[in-house]
Amino acid sequence: MNKPTKVFYNGTIITLDPALPQGEAMAVAGDKILAVGTNEDISSLAGPGAETNDLAGRVIVPGFNDSHMHLLNWGLGLSGVDLTKARSVPELIRLGQEFLAEHPRREWLVGRGWNEENFGEKVSPTKADLDQISRSRPVVFIRACGHICTANSKALEKAGITQDTANPPGGSIDRSGRGGEPTGILRENAIALVTKLIPSPTKTDLREIIRQASRSAAALGLTTVQSNDLNGAGSFDTELAVYRKLAAENELPIRINLQATMPTIQDIAAYLKVRKEGQVPNSYLTLGPLKLYADGSLGGRTAALTYPYKDEPGTCGMPLYEQAQLDELVGFAARGNLQVAVHAIGDLALDMILLSFERAKEKRPQWSARPRVVHCQIARRQQFLKMSQLGIVADIQPIFVPTDLHFVEERIGRENTAYAYAWRTMLQ
């Protein structure tokens, strides 16, 4: 055995190893754990040059593997207006005004993280609110879920969004009752009408954004993340080049499995080609599954349900694909034996993706890459049984429980919550 370079003692070491569930001390050499045991056992292994660390009763656990996140977006959020603490529309406006005063040269003002459920008034900001921050430069504030944004008048003007602009496929533009004037609120695929105009970060900026986000993740105990960062062929090459360079220079403190949102057959074909070529420098970076979105969010009422929302009966949410489109994309990925992870929060979206997975498996029995459903939040028992039969895994996010707990029954009805966030049932 190598000599330990570090020893941790007087604590509780959780191993998740049934043969030795926990210990008092741990010996480490470089990036390898050499041994876990009693204080006496481990101290006998350490030489005179080993660094010793008294845990004073604290706990060490294995690193966490986050099954679903957006590392790059997290980093972008750290460099823009942090709206997560806003508790009212006026406070959101104030945060934007303060940020603009501190960053007067920003061409676009972008903020992330607002949630009207945290506001006493329970209303979303509109273009009129964001116009109070600036009327001369575009302002775009993205909701916490990422499926809704609000744009000010200047941003709408730059995007050419008027009362005559049609809703894009899989998206909608909120309008006032007077002549259909856009309110500034954009949902799902309509968001790209403005965000595609935001200047892309340079490679230098991207490098710093990813470094900062990955270090923040490591500080929280995350050692591996499944990160949905690669979006479409347009930005794919640039983003992947930055990730590769960071990995090659040993600048990534965590392991990153990249998911790629490739919404067309051409995009998927390009991704398959890159994966076939390999070209990842080490184990800290891997190219993961194709990521698709079947619907939106529960908080934004764009999650696709088989029934109307209780608190907004005029909508059942918003599927982002027709069934035939989803079948085609999943089927193409299956032919390339590419794993597919699909965002599905509502039970209608889950119906659609389970059908696509089933059809792909029937046509391509040798498809061995296990399909994944991201979120799998609002479901029915029969859907869980179907997932088990098809060998589908759910990537769940417990963080949604504290954010949704206070409104989920009002939003979908108590009768529809029996299999919402039903993780124990999934395991059983």
Domain ranges in the chain are 6-62, 71-195, 203-427
Mean pLDDT over 17-21 rounds to 95
pLDDT > 70 fraction of the chain, expressed in percent and rounded: 99
Residue 140 has φ and ψ, to the nearest 5°, of: -130, 120
Top pLDDT among 48 and 362 is at 362
At the second CATH level, the architecture of 71-195 is: Roll (3.10)
Q: What confidence score (pLDDT) does residue 245 get? A: 94
Q: What confidence score (pLDDT) does residue 79 get? A: 86
95-111 per-position pLDDT tens digit: 999 999 999 999 999 99
The reported pTM is 0.88
pLDDT at 1 over 80: no
Q: What confidence score (pLDDT) does residue 347 get? A: 98
Residue 339 is encoded by which pair of tokens? 């794993």
Residue 195 is encoded by which pair of tokens? 């965000």
Mean pLDDT over 26-35 rounds to 94
Q: What confidence score (pLDDT) does residue 233 get? A: 44
Decide: 395 and 373 in contact? Cβ < 8 Å. yes
Return the closest-CA partner of residue 234 out of 194, 204, 261: 261
d(CA 165, CA 216): 40
pLDDT at 263 over 80: yes
At the second CATH level, the architecture of 203-427 is: Alpha-Beta Barrel (3.20)
32-54 per-position pLDDT tens digit: 999 999 999 999 888 888 999 99
76-94 per-position pLDDT tens digit: 888 899 999 999 999 999 9
Top pLDDT among 75 and 356 is at 356
203-237 per-position pLDDT tens digit: 999 999 999 999 999 999 999 999 998 875 457 88
Lowest mean pLDDT across 16-25, 107-116, 269-278, 373-382: 269-278
Return the closest-CA partner of residue 377 out of 338, 342, 428, 331: 342
Q: What confidence score (pLDDT) does residue 169 get? A: 92
Q: What confidence score (pLDDT) does residue 360 get? A: 98
Mean pLDDT, the chain, integer: 94
Strand order from edge to edge, sheet including 51-54: 32-37, 25-29, 6-9, 51-54
Decide: 12 and 25 in contact? Cβ < 8 Å. no
pLDDT at 279 over 80: no
pLDDT band at 428 (very low <50, low <70, confident <90, very high): confident
Q: Specify the CATH number for 6-62; select among 2.30.40.10, 1.10.8.50, 3.20.20.30, 3.40.250.10.
A: 2.30.40.10
Q: What confidence score (pLDDT) does residue 136 get? A: 97
Mean pLDDT over 163-172 rounds to 95
d(CA 262, CA 342): 11
How far is CA 31 from its chain centroid? 28
d(CA 44, CA 345): 53
